[in-house]
Amino acid sequence: MDMQISQIEPWFDDTEKQAIAEYLGSGGWLTEHKKTGEFEELLAAYLGVNHCVAVSNCTTALFCALVAHGIGPGDEVICPDYTFIASATAISWTGAKPVFVDIGLSNLCLDLDLAEQAISPYTKAIMLVSLNGRSPDMHRAVELCETYGLVLIEDAAQSLGSKFGGKFLGTFGDVGCFSFSARKIITMGQGGLIVTNDDEIADRIHKLKNFGRPFPGANMHESVGYNFKITDLQAVIGTEQFKKLLYRISHKKGMYDLYRGLLADVDEITFIDTDVREITPWMVDILVPDPIALREYLKSRGIGTRPMYEAIHNQPAYANPVNHDYYFPNSAYVAEHGLWLPSSSFLKYHQIWQICEEIRRFYKGK
């Protein structure tokens, strides 16, 4: 069999090309303007929130969300020990200290019991990462933050379209942040989105992303701000990608179900509990005894996979002598055993069937 399947790739077609050609044909400033506004409105309507602010990426989105709440030096923010590193670096960037907490193995997200134990007098916020569209009990997370007077920031970079109890992830917290980087379910190459229902926070975020001025072009800068704008070119692509979101959501769910069904009797493989009526697994993630061995075998068959993230406490950027695997057993376990299988939205079912045949051959020798 001659396959070349990557672990994940962005996907666009003639509709993006046409939309870009039309936009360029109509003149315009290229940078953030009307198209960005339209994109923000589309997403606000879809998610059912009052404010959507597009920014350069999800890392800057998280940074803005924290800074808009006055979080900075001397503060602590609770963060899962298992996530893409940007959740943590956004906290560090503000000068606050990320306090890492282990995840639960049932959803690979922040363990809320441990999070509660980690709250100190300096804690100002919880960074809740809905990894791969999964989440802990979001009502409990909201309640926990209310009880202790903490800000709830949702890093929903991987969760556009995923829900908890019928409500979109990213819309439970004081602020939710999404990513449109090249690997995410829809992309504009780079891009982020901040959502909130709080008028004042939205206003602060608008200023933060635009040099601290009250409106584009103003000469008075009311606060220290940055340039985290996207361009209308990205918004044009984002709008076309958004039109494909519903299809991708249903296809990703179908893909996940098919993988899970075809590999159900392979004892070495563990799937995380996933209710696809609510969760859209953006990546097909499995836990296996030796992910590198499976990865090497699949690579020899032309099939791309990727080891899952390293635990944050083992990242050179954050490692310190106290941050030992002993304190984060679940995070360490997932880092050691996690593998992402091919997950591009354009994969066909027959390709998944072939991939699963190879995985079965690896484990069952047949």
Ligand X SMILES: *Cc1c(COP(=O)(O)O)cnc(C)c1O
Cα–Cα distance list, 69 to 180, 198, 208, 235 (Å): 24, 11, 12, 27
For strands 123-129 and 151-155, give the pairing: parallel
The strands making up 123-129's β-sheet, listed across from edge to edge, are 51-55, 192-196, 175-179, 151-155, 123-129, 76-80, 97-101
Site for ligand X in 113-152 (CB under 6 A): 129
Which CB, 57 or 210, lies closer to ligand X? 57
Which CB, 47 or 55, lies closer to ligand X? 55
Q: Is 162 in the site for ligand X (CB under 6 A)?
A: no
Q: For residues 343 and 282, is the Cβ–Cβ distance under 8 A?
A: yes
Among 7, 36, 87, 274, binds ligand X (CB under 6 A): 87
Which CB, 83 or 274, lies closer to ligand X? 83
Question: What are the φ and ψ backbone dihedral angles of 266, each rounded to 5 degrees?
Answer: -90, 105
Q: How far is CA 232 from the centre of its chain?
A: 22
Which CB, 158 or 171, lies closer to ligand X? 158
Q: Is 352 in the site for ligand X (CB under 6 A)?
A: no
Among 83, 94, 187, 343, binds ligand X (CB under 6 A): 83
Q: Is 57 in the site for ligand X (CB under 6 A)?
A: yes
Among 94, 135, 181, 305, binds ligand X (CB under 6 A): 181
* Helices and strands (DSSP H and E) totals, the chain: 12, 13
H/E element, 158: none
Q: Is 157 in the site for ligand X (CB under 6 A)?
A: yes
Which CB, 150 or 153, lies closer to ligand X? 153
Among 40, 155, 174, 240, binds ligand X (CB under 6 A): 155
Residue that is written with structure tokens 């079912």 in the block: 349
For residues 304 and 21, give the distance between their C-alpha atoms in angstroms, rounded to a whole number: 33
Least separation in angstroms between CB 26 and ligand X: 28
Least separation in angstroms between CB 350 and ligand X: 29
Least separation in angstroms between CB 239 and ligand X: 18
Given the rule CB under 6 A, which residues bind ligand X? 57-59, 83-84, 86-87, 129, 155, 157-158, 179, 181, 192
